[in-house]
Chain A
Amino acid sequence: MRIPPFLRRPSANRTLAGILVAIVVLMSALNPQRFPTTGNFISMAYQLPIVAFLSIGMMVTMLSGGINLAIIATANFTGIVTVLVLRAVAGEAADQAGIGVALLAMGGGLAAALAIGAVMGWLIAYVEVPAILATLAMMTLLNGVNLVITKGYTLSGFPEFLLGIGNGTLWVIPIPFLILIAVVGLLAVLLNRTRTGLSLYLLGSNPIAAAYSNVPVRAVLVRDYVVSSAFAALTAFIMMGQLNSVKANYAESYLLVSVLACFLGGVDPFGGAGSLSGMVLAVVILQVVSTGVNLLRMDPFFIQAMWGFIILALIAATFLGGRLQERRRLRAARATQQGAERPSGDARATVE
Chain B
Amino acid sequence: MLRRLLRHNETYLVLLIVALCAAIAVANPRFLSYENVSGFLKSCSMIGIMAVGALFVLILAGSPDVSFTAIAQVVEYAIAVATLRWGGNIYVALLAAAAMGVLLGLVNGVIIHSFRVPTIIVTIATFNIYFGMLYVITAGKLINVVHPMFRAFGNTLLFPQTSPIGGTYGFSLMSLVWLAAVVLGWFILRRTFLGRGVFAIGGNETAAERMGIDTRRTRLFVFGFVGLLSGVAAVVHLSIVQSVVPNIIVGKELEVIAAVVLGGASVFGGKGTLTGTVLGVLLFAILNNGLTLLNFSSYWYNVTIGVVITVAITNSAYQQLRHQRSRVHVKVEA
Contacts and interface: CB of A to CB of B under 8 A. Distances in A.
Interface of A: 123, 127-130, 132-134, 136-145, 147-148, 151-152, 211-212, 214, 256, 259-260, 263, 269, 299, 301-309, 311-312, 315-316, 318-319
25 contacts: A123-B310, A127-B317, A128-B321, A129-B313, A133-B261, A134-B313, A137-B306, A137-B309, A139-B306, A140-B258, A141-B306, A143-B302, A144-B303, A144-B305, A145-B306, A147-B302, A259-B120, A301-B135, A306-B132, A308-B127, A311-B124, A312-B122, A312-B125, A312-B126, A315-B115
Question: Which 6 pairs across A and B sit closest by C-beta, in order of nearness?
Answer: A141-B306, A144-B302, A305-B132, A144-B303, A308-B128, A308-B129
A305 B300 CA distance: 33
Interface of A is mostly: helix
A133 B121 contact: no
B88 interface: no
Interface string B256-299: 01100100000110000000000000000000000000000001
A305 B131 CA distance: 7
Interface of B: 64, 111, 114-118, 120-122, 124-136, 140, 254, 257-258, 261, 267-268, 299-307, 309-310, 313-314, 317-318, 320-321, 332, 334
Contact of A263 (B121, B132, B300): B121
B314 A123 contact: yes
Contacts of B116: 319
A145 B306 CA distance: 9
B119 to A, nearest CB: 11
A140 B309 contact: yes
A319 B305 CA distance: 40
B310 A299 contact: no
B300 A137 contact: no
A142 B111 CA distance: 34
A141 B300 CA distance: 10
A71 to B, nearest CB: 14
Given A128-B320, A144-B299, A309-B125, 19 more contacts: A130-B317, A134-B310, A137-B310, A141-B310, A143-B302, A144-B301, A144-B303, A145-B306, A214-B334, A259-B121, A299-B136, A302-B132, A304-B128, A308-B126, A309-B129, A311-B125, A315-B111, A319-B114, A319-B116
Contacts of B261: 133, 136
Contact of B125 (A123, A141, A308, A319): A308
Given A140-B258, A259-B124, A133 B306 contact: no
Contacts of B332: 211-212
A318 B306 CA distance: 37
A147 B136 CA distance: 31
A242 B293 CA distance: 41
A24 B48 CA distance: 47
A181 to B, nearest CB: 29
Nearest to A216: B334
B136 A305 contact: yes
Given A128-B317, A312-B111, A304 B299 contact: no
Nearest to A143: B302
Contacts of B303: 141, 144-145, 147-148
A162 B253 CA distance: 36
